[in-house]
């Protein structure tokens, strides 16, 4: 049996590097004539207030334009760029601002491409195996060819986020929440593994010009890595991408599921790597913060090292969906700033859909509607502080923290859109973090 080919190229020059990696893997060898092509970038988060490029968080505009040029040279005129940005689905302004800022309107004028916010487009129910169904964007389903261009990152829920995981941005809100269910067998990893199963033919082009450690958001550590990985076999591309990020495919649950679904080994034994050698470009990217577990506290290690006492903030799991996880980092940041050296009085914060209260806690904060519904009548809760929204309202989060004795600064939550600037300011004026990669000149 012939091996799947995955190409690794060091990014050196515009267009030429993308062309090289695509040619090496034979990425467009079977592109149908006059194909309708759907390009799926990764724009996991956007802020209208803080327009810093999200290095390693989102796909560079440089790679998107180069891929568009390559497709045009192959005679393709029907090209759609589509993404479902994490935001209130009723919010049309934030995605429009992202597309404009990233230069997609310029690409429309220059090359005739279309760009869409999938949240404004129809969804179609797709029956997957094992009784699973999800609603996918119709535009990608009915295209002839997909170019999947994720940013290369490690991910705090899925270990890595690459080609298969990037397709989660094409499903509807209810389907995204369904992926984060509390079934221990048909969990997040189980669902993600199936996202590519009913797609048209896919060329996966992993954008590793910038990579992200402890992703998927702007609070991770961003790196300039100058790498491109490509293959017409999405699973092979992801397994090689995982190795580049420092992980064996067997350490990534959704890749293990995907390999099993395809009756393939969860290793590189059936993969041919061309171009750069994995060992020459691999660099370990931590996927999550270490957690402290002691009698009086359970929390991320950075908070524990700060000396915080009397608080249990357990490691979130795969049942916490995107819309709660968007607040999670802010809540932890607010707690860090609220600490004044005096122990809090046995406060625990529960997130996701599966956690249960610990006996003996004086106050239990239930973060989000799912957690409230699960534990609202739990006998071990002495004082319930419920945040019932889906997603939680930032004002309600502040009120809950205050009720628990944690004097979080309301301004942090009132100016939530400016938060990315706080994290990304550390990269400003460093020449390797070049804003032009996220613009179309």
**Can you spell out the DSSP letters for 163-216?**
HHHHGGGGB-HHHHHHHT-S-SSS-HHHHHTTTTTTS--EEEEEEEEEEEEEES
Cis omega (within 30 of 0) for bond into 78: no
pLDDT in tens, 248-283: 999 999 999 999 999 999 999 999 999 999 999 999
Burial label for 423, CB within 10 Å (0-12, 13-18, 19+), is buried
Nearest CA among 141, 58, 73 for reference residue 104: 58
65: β partners: none
Confidence category of residue 207, pLDDT binned at 50, 70, 90: very high
Q: What is the spatial distance between Cα 225 and Cα 211, in angstroms, rounded to a whole number?
A: 6
Q: Which fold has domain 4-287?
A: Rossmann fold (3.40.50)
Predicted pLDDT at 421: 81
A 10 A CB-CB count for 272 gives: 14
Predicted pLDDT at 1: 64
pLDDT at 52 over 70: no
Q: What is the spatial distance between Cα 237 and Cα 150, in angstroms, rounded to a whole number?
A: 11
pLDDT at 166 over 70: yes
Across 50-66, average pLDDT: 90
pLDDT at 424 over 90: no
pLDDT in tens, 304-348: 999 999 999 999 899 998 778 878 888 998 999 999 999 999 999
Biggest alpha carbon–alpha carbon distance for the chain: 68
Confidence category of residue 385, pLDDT binned at 50, 70, 90: very high
A 10 A CB-CB count for 248 gives: 13
**pLDDT higher at 323 or 155:** 155
Mean pLDDT of the chain: 93
A 10 A CB-CB count for 359 gives: 9
Q: What is the spatial distance between Cα 357 and Cα 375, in angstroms, rounded to a whole number?
A: 8
For 102, 318, 415, the CA distances from 134, given in Å and listed in that order, are: 29, 18, 34
Across 373-390, average pLDDT: 94
**pLDDT higher at 389 or 209:** 209
pTM: 0.94
Across 404-417, average pLDDT: 89
Burial label for 411, CB within 10 Å (0-12, 13-18, 19+), is exposed
Contacts of 344 (CB under 8 A, 6+ apart): 308, 309, 310, 311, 404, 405, 406
Q: What is the spatial distance between Cα 346 and Cα 224, in angstroms, rounded to a whole number?
A: 42
Task: Give the strand pairing for 311-313 and 347-350.
Answer: parallel
Geometric angle at alpha carbon 352, from 351 and 354, rounded to 5°: 105
Task: Give the strand pairing for 384-387 and 363-367.
Answer: parallel
Predicted pLDDT at 312: 94
**Can you spell out the DSSP letters for 109-176?**
HHH--EEEEGGGS-EEEEE-STT-EEEEEHHHHT-SEEEE--EEEEETTTEEE-HHHHGGGGB-HHHH
Nearest CA among 268, 266, 263, 257 for reference residue 193: 257
Burial label for 399, CB within 10 Å (0-12, 13-18, 19+), is middle
Contacts of 322 (CB under 8 A, 6+ apart): 86, 176, 180
Taking a C-beta distance cutoff of 8 angstroms, is the pair 350, 357 a contact?
Answer: yes
Predicted pLDDT at 390: 86
Q: Would you kindly state where each structural domain of the chain is located, as residue ranges?
A: 4-287, 291-408
Confidence category of residue 83, pLDDT binned at 50, 70, 90: very high
Structure tokens at 212: 């992200």
Across 342-366, average pLDDT: 94
Q: Which residues of 20-73 form beta strands (DSSP E)?
A: 36-40
Across 165-189, average pLDDT: 93
Give percent of the chain above pLDDT 70. Answer: 99
Across 30-46, average pLDDT: 94
Element spanning 9, H or E? strand 4-10
Length of the chain, in residues: 441
């Amino acid at each position: 049996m012939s091996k799947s080919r995955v190409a690794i190229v060091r990014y050196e020059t515009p267009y030429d590097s993308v062309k090289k990696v695509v040619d090496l893997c034979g990425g467009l060898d079977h592109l149908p004539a006059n194909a309708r092509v759907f390009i799926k970038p990764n724009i996991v988060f956007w802020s209208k207030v803080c327009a810093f490029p999200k290095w390693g968080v989102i796909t560079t505009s440089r790679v998107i334009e180069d891929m568009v040029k390559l497709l045009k040279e192959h005679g393709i005129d029907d090209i759609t760029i589509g993404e479902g940005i994490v935001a209130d689905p009723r919010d049309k302004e934030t995605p429009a601002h992202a597309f404009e800022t990233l230069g997609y309107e310029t690409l429309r004028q220059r090359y005739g491409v279309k760009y869409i916010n999938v949240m404004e487009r129809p969804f179609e129910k797709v029956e997957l195996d094992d009784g699973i169904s999800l609603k996918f964007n119709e535009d990608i389903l009915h295209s002839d060819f997909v170019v999947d261009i994720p940013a290369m990152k490690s991910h705090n829920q899925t270990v890595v986020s690459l080609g298969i995981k990037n397709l989660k941005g094409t499903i509807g809100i209810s389907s995204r929440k369904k992926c984060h269910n509390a079934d221990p067998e048909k969990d997040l990893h189980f669902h993600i593994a199936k996202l590519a199963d009913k797609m048209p033919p896919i060329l996966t082009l992993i954008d590793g010009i910038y990579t992200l450690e402890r992703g998927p958001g702007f609070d991770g550590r961003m790196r300039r890595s100058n790498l491109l990985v490509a293959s017409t076999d999405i699973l092979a591309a992801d397994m090689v991408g995982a190795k580049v990020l420092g992980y064996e495919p067997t350490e990534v649950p959704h890749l293990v599921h995907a390999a099993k679904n395809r009756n393939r080994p969860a290793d590189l034994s059936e993969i041919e790597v061309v171009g750069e050698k994995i060992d020459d470009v691999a660099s370990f990217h931590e996927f999550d913060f270490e957690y402290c577990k002691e009698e009086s506290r359970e929390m991320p290690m950075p908070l524990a090292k700060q000396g915080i006492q009397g608080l249990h903030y357990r490691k979130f799991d795969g049942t916490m969906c995107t819309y709660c996880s968007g607040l999670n980092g802010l809540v932890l940041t607010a707690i860090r700033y609220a600490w004044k050296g005096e122990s809090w009085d046995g406060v625990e914060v529960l997130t996701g859909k599966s956690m249960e209260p610990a006996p003996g806690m004086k106050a239990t904060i239930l973060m989000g509607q799912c957690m409230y519904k699960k534990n609202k009548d739990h006998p071990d809760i002495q004082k319930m502080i419920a945040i019932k929204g889906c997603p939680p309202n930032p004002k309600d989060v502040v009120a809950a923290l205050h009720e628990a004795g944690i004097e979080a600064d309301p301004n942090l939550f009132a100016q939530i859109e400016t938060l990315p600037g706080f994290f990304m300011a550390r990269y400003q004026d460093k020449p390797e973090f070049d804003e032009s990669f996220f613009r179309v000149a």
